[in-house]
């Protein structure tokens, strides 16, 4: 098996590779994992020796199919546990990420499959992120955000691009939870802040910072 640390590196590389499309830099990994570049170099060499990443000095790193498979299975675990915590144990969506960060490393194929079944094979986690299936297939998000909407257009909240407690808490406070209906009333062009109505009732004003991290489905 692999250590927690190795698994967290693989997950980080997966995330960065997906969002940038290219080979992943040492510094970007260090930033994401809040560690130092020199530590990253050490770990990369180790993962490279295990054939989990391909690596050329100074040229960045990318996952091998094997490394990618491990990364996806950890993400699957993470998101299933998040669903469990919210759906079954009544945690709020801003409380589950850190716990799932630990639970994801409990190694058991069987546990994962039984958990998936117990949760009735959910497709999305509490933040709207898609849950990879048993074979590692992930539905990909279109990533249309509220910031892409125009006045008079209607949309539904389907996810978030930012997972911080403070952001999720803020969304809660203005009613922008998963499934909320939004109509754009007005957009201020100097700062791109938006006035919207949530679920046809309360009218709120939100910054571009907020709208660009809220994934929606147009309707």
Partner DNA sequence: ATTTATTTTTAGACTAATCTAAATTTATTT
Partner DNA sequence: AAATAAATTTAGATTAGTCTAAAAATAAAT
- In the complex, the residues that contact Mn ion under the rule CB under 5 A are 8, 82, 97, 101, 125, 127
Give SS3 for 134: coil
Taken in order 158, 123, 100, 75, the sign of the CA dihedral is: negative
Query: Could you give the string, one character per residue 58-77, with x where binding to DNA holds by CB under 7 A and - elsewhere?
Result: x-x-----------------
Q: Which is nearer to a second copy, 71 or 115 (CB)?
A: 115
Give the Cα separation of 169 and 49 in Å (integer).
42
Is residue 125 exposed (0-12), middle (13-18) or buried (19+ Cβ within 10 Å)?
Answer: buried
Give the Cα separation of 162 and 167 in Å (integer).
7
| Stretch of 26-34, 108-116, 141-149, 190-198 contacting a second copy, by CB under 8 A | 108-116
164 forms part of the interface with a second copy (CB under 8 A): no
Among 22, 106, 156, 188, binds a second copy (CB under 8 A): 106
91 forms part of the interface with a second copy (CB under 8 A): yes
Residue 205 Cα to chain centre, angstroms: 25
Pairing of strands 181-187, 194-198: antiparallel
Q: Which residues bind DNA (CB under 7 A)?
A: 3, 5-6, 25-28, 35-46, 55, 57-58, 60
Q: Which residues bind a second copy (CB under 8 A)?
A: 85, 88-91, 95, 99, 102-103, 106-108, 110-111, 114-115, 118
């Amino acid at each position: 098996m692999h250590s927690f640390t190795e698994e967290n590196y693989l997950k980080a590389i997966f995330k960065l590779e997906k969002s940038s499309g290219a080979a992943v830099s040492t510094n970007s990994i260090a930033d994401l994992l809040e560690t130092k570049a020199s530590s990253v170099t050490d770990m990369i060499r180790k993962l490279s020796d295990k054939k989990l990443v391909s690596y050329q000095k100074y040229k960045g790193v990318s996952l091998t199919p094997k490394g990618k498979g491990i990364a996806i299975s950890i993400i699957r675990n993470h998101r299933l546990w998040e669903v469990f915590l919210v759906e079954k144990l009544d945690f709020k969506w801003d409380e589950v990420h850190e716990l799932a960060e630990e639970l994801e490393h409990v190694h058991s194929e069987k546990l994962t499959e039984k958990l998936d079944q117990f949760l009735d094979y959910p497709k999305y986690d509490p933040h709207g992120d898609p849950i990879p299936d048993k074979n590692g297939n992930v539905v990909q998000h279109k990533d249309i955000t509220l910031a892409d909407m125009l006045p008079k257009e209607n949309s539904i909240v389907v996810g978030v691009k930012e997972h911080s407690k403070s952001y999720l808490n803020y969304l809660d406070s203005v009613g922008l939870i998963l499934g909320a209906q939004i109509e754009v009333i007005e957009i201020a062009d100097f700062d791109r802040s938006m006035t919207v109505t949530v679920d046809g009732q309360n009218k709120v004003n939100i910054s571009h910072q907020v709208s660009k991290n809220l994934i929606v489905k147009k309707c």
